[in-house]
Amino acid sequence: MATVEDALSRPDPATARRANRVAVHTFRPRRSWPALIVGVLVLGVAALAAAEVASALAGAPMRNAVTTAADGYAAETRWSDPVVQVASAVAAAIGLLLILAALVPGRGRFTALRTGDPALVVGLSRSALRRTLAAAAQDVGGVRGARVSVGRRRVRVRIRTDLRDAPELRGEVASAVQQRLAELAPVYGFKVNTRVRRTKV
């Protein structure tokens, strides 16, 4: 039965959803390298075009090797030329890849945790999360070692044991890891997969 204190301390659902969105947005990885590369290329092309236009307006067109070769090639080439069509297709494919790289979020280095407060953002690094979950698995009796890998929505736990007959060990480890995840309260849930390897004595 919920007490008055529990009801007052529990965050408003709308506030909790807003806090989760803020946390996820804060720890979302930025696609900085594609943006930097495209920015440098666009800046170079824009600077070359501006210099060409300015020199033409001044009455002394700048005839460098790049613009001269481009003018000659553009004057002699038709749109139906296979080279032009292939180059256009390659440029379009590169553009689509850059758009996908900007839209699809990368794998973040931090896992956002629930706080219920949009002004408080807490994240746990992937390595710290692995160590925490591995410690939870090793606390289970009979476990001699544990390795944890954390994916986007999945946690894989590989444990070593020298017990010959322990059919319940896998479930106990999964339960311990899930309990630790519940204590940490990540914004997105994780599915726990556990594998048991018996060491030879």
- How much is the average pLDDT of 11-21? 74
Could you tell me the end-to-end alpha-carbon distance of the chain, in angstroms, rounded to an integer? 50
Could you tell me the domains of the chain?
32-103 (no CATH), 110-198 (3.30.70.1350)
Q: Judge if pTM exceeds 0.85.
A: no
Q: Is the pLDDT of residue 49 over 70?
A: yes
pLDDT in tens, 58-97: 777 766 665 666 666 666 777 777 877 888 888 888 878 8
Q: Which residue has the higher pLDDT, 10 or 41?
A: 41
- Of 62-76, 100-114, 125-139, 168-182, least confident by mean pLDDT is 62-76
The pLDDT score that the predictor gives to residue 96 is 83
For every residue of 47-91, DSSP letters joined together read HHHHHHHHHHHTT-----HHHHHHHHHHHH--TT-HHHHHHHHHH
What's phi and psi for 70, nearest 5 deg? Answer: -65, -40
Inter-CA distances, 192 with 107, 156, 167, 171, Å: 19, 6, 17, 10
Longest dimension (CA), the chain: 90
Question: What percentage of the chain exceeds 90 in pLDDT?
Answer: 12
- Mean pLDDT, all residues of the chain: 78
Residue predicted with more confidence, 157 or 32: 157
Confidence of residue 98 (pLDDT cuts 50, 70, 90): confident
Pair 80, 13: CB distance under 8 Å: no
> For position 41, what pLDDT does the model report?
83
